[in-house]
Amino acid sequence: MTEPLRLACIDSDAAPLFLRDDPVEGRRGYEPAVAELIADELGRPLEWVFLPWAEMLPAVRRGEANGVLCGQGITESRLREVDFTRPYAVFHESVLIRRGDPVRSAEDLRGRKVAAIAGSTNMALAETFDGAVTVPFGGDSDDVFGDMLEALRAGEVDAVVDDDVVFVPLGDHPDFELAFTVRTGNRWAVGVAKDRPEDLAALDGALGRIIADGRLAKAWAEWLPALEYPFGGGAGGAEE
CATH label of the domain that carries residue 179: 3.40.190.10
Q: Is 229 a domain residue?
A: no
Query: pLDDT tens, 107-119?
Result: 999 999 999 999 8
Q: Is 16 a domain residue?
A: yes
Q: Are residues 126 and 206 part of one domain?
A: no
Q: Are residues 199 and 86 part of one domain?
A: yes
The whole-number pLDDT of residue 139 equals 65
**Sheet of strand 82-84, all strands in order from the earlier edge strand to the far edge:** 46-50, 5-9, 67-68, 191-193, 82-84
- Reply yes or no on whether the pLDDT at 71 is more than 70: yes
Q: Are residues 203 and 151 part of one domain?
A: no
Query: pLDDT tens, 10-34?
Result: 988 888 999 988 888 889 999 999 9
- Angle at which helices 30-42 and 215-223 cross, to 10°: 160
Q: Is 181 a domain residue?
A: yes
- Reply yes or no on whether the pLDDT at 221 is more than 80: yes
49 pLDDT tier (thresholds 50, 70, 90): very high
Q: Are residues 111 and 63 part of one domain?
A: no
Q: Are residues 172 and 210 part of one domain?
A: no
pTM over 0.75: yes
Q: Are residues 109 and 122 part of one domain?
A: yes
Question: Measured between alpha carbons, how far is residue 211 from residues 110, 113, 154, 189 in Å?
Answer: 41, 39, 42, 13
User: What range does the domain containing 199 cover?
Assistant: 5-90+186-224
Q: Is 236 a domain residue?
A: no
Q: Are residues 210 and 180 part of one domain?
A: no
The whole-number pLDDT of residue 183 equals 94
Last residue of a domain, one of 185, 214, 232: 185
Give the residue with greater pLDDT, 14 vs 177: 177
The arithmetic mean of pLDDT across residues 3-16, rounded, is: 92
Q: Are residues 191 and 86 part of one domain?
A: yes
Q: Is 232 a domain residue?
A: no
The arithmetic mean of pLDDT across residues 203-228, rounded, is: 96
Q: Are residues 199 and 82 part of one domain?
A: yes
Q: Are residues 103 and 179 part of one domain?
A: yes
The arithmetic mean of pLDDT across residues 154-160, rounded, is: 98
Q: How many residues does the chain have?
A: 240
- Reply yes or no on whether the pLDDT at 151 is more than 90: yes
The arithmetic mean of pLDDT across residues 206-220, rounded, is: 98
Separation of CA 189 from chain center: 9
- Reply yes or no on whether the pLDDT at 239 is more than 90: no
- Looking at the structure of the chain, the number of domains it has is 2
Q: Are residues 181 and 115 part of one domain?
A: yes
Q: Is 231 a domain residue?
A: no
Calpha distance 73→51 (Å, rounded): 18
Q: Is 240 a domain residue?
A: no
The arithmetic mean of pLDDT across residues 169-194, rounded, is: 95
The whole-number pLDDT of residue 233 equals 58
Q: Is 220 a domain residue?
A: yes
Residue 126: helix, strand or coil by DSSP? helix
